[in-house]
């Protein structure tokens, strides 16, 4: 009995696949959400789901998504990828081939987004990862986009910010030579800084290795190098040690960091020493204004906590998807053709006003957008200071 | 010159930790001819016990009945943690090493590694992967002495380390217990026949070494207030190098070698690119050992090599 019904379903599915017009009758826009709902980073998946559902509420309140003068109902297909690469691939394949989604949002983490992006590209289905910062996610994949900036991008942004904000010309860098993220960022910062201020303007380029706790020798060198600012793209536990030791060695100049500073632990471990310092990141909850503030208030009222960068970026990714669908000027009902139209529309989006900054796609899948510079306030909160562009 | 003096101060602090941990290695090694590989992790446990004790004392002081100044809390924290950690050391010896005392040395060394892993992962299971920050008991005051910056904490750390090393030296040189330890280091088979209680003396050695490691852990927590369960591994290895460099069973040697190690690391980073710090520093140490295989104060003892 069970076997027969299975055969029936297969036949039906086969029919549907051969007659694309079968999809068109539903006239429902399906958007796939590939989220890390369980596994290592469930908080990331939760933020994704909540932000996407908030977007859906808005669409429903408007009576559907208006495309080319016609309103379409929207359905979210939410799949759990268990924070695993293989499950993300499975979820993506299922959403594309079985559920017939028009476009996919997620996965978030690069570990899942890089392989899932490969699937999306092979099936010629547009996908946007809100949070994945690894270059490989979108590299050579015309169908894959992202809503955040890439790791290397923060180097030039911070170099510019320090130059315009403080008018400094000499910088020092202290980084972990044994860890990819800090090492890469240190190199990009050095390159950008020397492009602005000439060779030799990074007067001290010092390193240590993971697990080191004493930086006194490096910091003594930095202090006596005549540097006006110290850039250290480290994780929160090292940030606390570096900043405290620098102050104990008599360093009174600014210390600047990158989005790896953006953990609540930074201030817990570092204390008053970190107050007044700057770092770059995707989004800042404290001191937000306009649409960003509205989103934060709404989210907090509904779910009881301040949304993190994943939720904010997902919200923007949903907005980009909406804009891309609307920019197609109308759906043909042929899923293959519509996916292609959405892809090319997304690649053409200019000056999209997101809550994490303005975004412009110019050709590739990576948006040109500005980073947010956060100042650690005198109460230890991460406060929006200004937007910084490369 | 200012840079040199500043790095001298940096090196004194950094060397203090190596010296204190190396002392524990050296003492155990001198008697049992055994590398207590768990010693670095006892240092870690000591630091965590220090966090617990100091938080308990702060809570007690805030109740009002036992109001005490912060410096007193610090002194009590160090003393109580040293006391408690010495028991950890004795338990490690009782559970890990005593059953294997007549086993090949390699087995006992492996036991040490395993106990180390048990301590690390046990801590991880108990407190999670979150970094723990050491409560700041004394405010940092920075003194600017002609361009050389010294903090009150640095001075305290170096002084306490010197005092503890000196105290141990006096204990080993002047007391009956110390004499027994030295005698056993000389010959561990014959001395018990003279009526010296072997197990008690070995426990005492472990207790002393662990107490010093705990002191190092707390001082470390004061200087670098971010603790994690794996902080003792690399430290343990490097202090082990210092213990060997100092010479078997020599309190003076281990202390000096600990400071020498700190100086080498800091000054190599001062002169060469910091990326090459450990590469160059430990090549230098290797060179020293090649010419002085028994360390600075060690005596050749090939006749009784039991490895």
Q: Could you tell me the residue ranges of all domains in chain B?
A: 2-304
User: A73: domain CATH number?
Assistant: 3.40.50.2300
From CA A281, how far away is CA A233, in angstroms rounded?
11
Interface of B with A in 277-296 (CB under 8 A): 277-278
Query: What pLDDT shows up at residue B300?
Result: 60
Quick one: chain A helix, strand, coil %, rounded to 5?
50, 20, 30
Same structural domain for residues A88 and A115? yes
Check CB contact of A226 with chain B, cutoff 8 Å: no
Whether A104 and A48 share a structural domain? yes
What is the count of residue pairs from A and B with beta carbons less than 8 Å apart?
Answer: 80
Distance from C-alpha of A206 to C-alpha of A177, rounded to nearest angstrom? 9
Question: What is the three-class DSSP state of B230?
Answer: coil
pLDDT digits (tens, 9 = 90+) for B77-116: 999 999 999 999 999 999 988 888 888 878 888 888 899 9
The answer, yes or no, to whether residue B232 has pLDDT greater than 70, is yes
Nearest to B160 by CA among B77, B236, B240: B77
Residue A283 confidence (pLDDT): 83
Which residues are within 8 A (CB) of B199 and not within 5 positions of it... i.e. 6 or more apart? B98
A352 CA to chain B: closest CA distance, Å?
Answer: 38
Average pLDDT over residues A94-111: 91
pLDDT at A13: 53
A247-272 residue pLDDT tens: 999 999 999 998 888 777 788 888 88
Q: Within this chain, do residues A70 and A176 fall inside the same structural domain, yes or no?
A: no
Q: Taking CB atoms and an 8 Å limit, are A211 and B231 in contact across chains?
A: yes
Residues A139 and A170 occupy one common structural domain: no
Q: Return the minimum-mean-pLDDT range out of B129-138, B142-151, B176-185, B196-205.
A: B129-138
- Total domains present in chain A: 2
Q: Which of B166, B31, B15 has the alpha carbon at shortest distance from B105?
A: B31
Q: Are residues A125 and A210 in the same domain?
A: no
Handedness of CA B134, B139, B140, B145 (dihedral sign): negative
Looking at the fold, whether A136 and A44 belong to one and the same domain comes out as yes
Check: complex ipTM more than 0.95: no
* Contact list, B228 vs chain A (CB under 8 Å): 237
pLDDT at res. B252: 87
Stretch (H or E) spanning A241: helix A236-248
Minimal CA separation from A174 to chain B, in Å? 10
Radius of gyration of chain A (CA): 23
Q: Are residues A177 and A242 in the same domain?
A: yes
Chain A positions in Cβ-Cβ contact with residue B2 (cut-off 8 Å): 224
| Calpha distance A145→A106 (Å, rounded) | 10
Question: Which residues numbered 122-151 in B keep a CB inside 8 Å of some CB on A?
Answer: 130-131, 133, 136, 140, 142, 144, 149, 151
- Kindly state whether residues A36 and A116 are assigned to the same domain: yes
The pLDDT, as a whole number, for residue A25 is 44
Residues A38 and A126 in one domain: yes
* CATH, range B2-304: 1.10.3470
Mind spelling out the 3-state secondary structure of B166-203?
HHHHHHHHHCHHHHHHHHHHHCCCCHHHHCCCHHHHHH
HSE-CB for A375 with a 13 A CA cutoff? 14
> Quick one: A138 and A122 in the same domain?
yes
Nearest to A217 among B144, B224, B274 (CB): B274
**Does pTM surpass 0.95?**
no
- The CB-side HSE value for B85 (13 A sphere, CA atoms) comes to 35
- What's the average model confidence in pLDDT over B112-133? 86
Interface test with A, best of B6, B217, B265 (most A CBs within 10 A): B6
Q: Tell me which residue in A220, A250, A268 faces B133 most closely, judged by beta carbons.
A: A268
* A19 vs B237: which has the higher pLDDT: B237
Q: Is the pLDDT of residue B307 over 70?
A: no
* Interface residue B70 vs chain A (CB under 8 A): no
Residues of A in contact with B153 (CB under 8 A): 248
Please provide the average confidence, as pLDDT, over all residues in chain A: 87
Within a domain: A20: no
Rounded CA-CA distance A359/A128 in Å is 13
Residue A374 is assigned to a structural domain of this protein: no
């Amino acid at each position: 009995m069970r076997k027969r019904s299975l055969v029936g379903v297969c036949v039906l599915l086969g029919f549907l696949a051969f007659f694309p017009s079968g999809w068109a009758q539903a006239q429902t826009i399906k958007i796939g959400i590939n989220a890390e709902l369980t596994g290592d980073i469930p908080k990331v998946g939760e933020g994704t789901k909540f932000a996407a559902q908030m977007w859906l509420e808005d669409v429903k309140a408007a009576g559907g998504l208006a495309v080319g003068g016609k309103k379409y109902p929207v359905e979210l297909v939410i799949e759990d990828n268990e924070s695993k690469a293989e499950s993300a691939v499975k979820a993506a394949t299922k959403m594309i081939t079985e559920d017939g989604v028009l476009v996919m949002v997620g996965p978030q983490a690069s570990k899942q987004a890089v392989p899932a992006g490969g699937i999306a590209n092979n099936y010629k289905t547009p996908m946007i990862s809100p949070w994945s910062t690894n270059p490989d996610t979108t590299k050579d994949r015309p169908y894959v986009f992202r809503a955040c900036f890439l790791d290397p991008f923060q180097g030039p942004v911070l170099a510019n910010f320090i130059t315009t904000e403080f008018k400094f010309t000499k910088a020092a860098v202290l980084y972990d030579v044994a860890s990819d993220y800090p090492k890469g960022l240190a190199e990009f910062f050095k390159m950008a800084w020397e492009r602005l201020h000439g060779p030799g303007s990074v007067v001290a380029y010092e390193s240590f290795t993971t697990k080191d706790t004493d930086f006194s020798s490096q910091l003594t060198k930095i202090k006596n190098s005549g540097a006006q600012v110290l850039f250290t793209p480290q994780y929160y536990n090292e940030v606390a040690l570096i900043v405290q030791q620098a102050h104990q060695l008599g360093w009174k100049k600014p210390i600047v960091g990158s989005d790896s500073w953006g953990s609540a632990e930074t201030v817990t471990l570092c204390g008053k020493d970190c107050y007044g310092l700057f770092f770059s990141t995707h989004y800042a909850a404290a001191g937000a204004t306009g649409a960003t503030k509205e989103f934060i208030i709404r989210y907090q009222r509904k779910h009881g906590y301040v949304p993190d960068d994943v939720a904010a970026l997902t919200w923007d990714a949903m907005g980009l998807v909406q804009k891309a669908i609307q920019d197609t000027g109308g759906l043909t009902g042929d899923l293959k053709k519509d996916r292609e139209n959405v892809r090319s529309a997304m690649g053409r989006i200019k000056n999209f006003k997101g809550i994490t900054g303005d975004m412009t796609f110019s050709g590739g899948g990576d948006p040109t957008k500005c980073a947010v510079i956060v100042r650690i306030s005198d109460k230890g909160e991460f406060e929006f200071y200004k937007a910084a562009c490369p | 010159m200012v840079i040199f003096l500043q790095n001298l101060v940096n090196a004194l602090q950094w060397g203090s930790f190596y010296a204190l941990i190396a002392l524990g290695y050296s003492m155990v090694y001198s008697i049992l001819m055994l590398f207590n590989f768990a010693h670095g992790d006892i240092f870690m446990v000591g630091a965590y016990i220090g966090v617990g004790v100091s938080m308990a004392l702060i809570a007690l002081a805030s109740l009002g009945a036992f109001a005490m100044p912060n410096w007193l809390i610090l002194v009590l924290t160090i003393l109580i943690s040293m006391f408690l950690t010495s028991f950890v050391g004795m338990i490690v010896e009782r559970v890990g090493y005593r059953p294997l005392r007549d086993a090949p040395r390699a087995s006992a060394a492996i036991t040490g590694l395993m106990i180390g892993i048990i301590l690390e992962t046990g801590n991880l299971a108990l407190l999670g992967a979150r970094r723990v920050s050491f409560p700041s008991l004394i405010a940092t005051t920075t003194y600017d002495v002609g361009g050389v910056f010294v903090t009150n904490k640095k001075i305290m750390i170096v002084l306490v380390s010197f005092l503890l090393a000196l105290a141990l030296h006096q204990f080993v040189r002047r007391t009956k217990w110390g004499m027994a330890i030295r005698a056993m280091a000389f010959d561990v088979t014959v001395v018990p026949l003279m009526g010296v209680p072997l197990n008690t003396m070995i426990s005492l050695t472990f207790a002393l070494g662990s107490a010093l490691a705990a002191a190092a852990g707390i001082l470390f927590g004061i200087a670098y207030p971010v603790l994690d369960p794996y902080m003792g591994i690399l430290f343990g290895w490097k202090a082990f190098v210092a213990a060997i460099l100092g010479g078997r069973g020599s309190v003076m040697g281990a202390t000096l070698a600990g400071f020498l190690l700190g100086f080498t690391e800091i000054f190599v980073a001062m002169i060469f690119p910091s990326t090459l710090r450990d590469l160059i520093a430990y090549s230098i140490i290797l060179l020293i050992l090649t010419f002085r295989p028994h360390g600075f104060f060690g005596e050749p003892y090939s006749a009784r090599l039991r490895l």
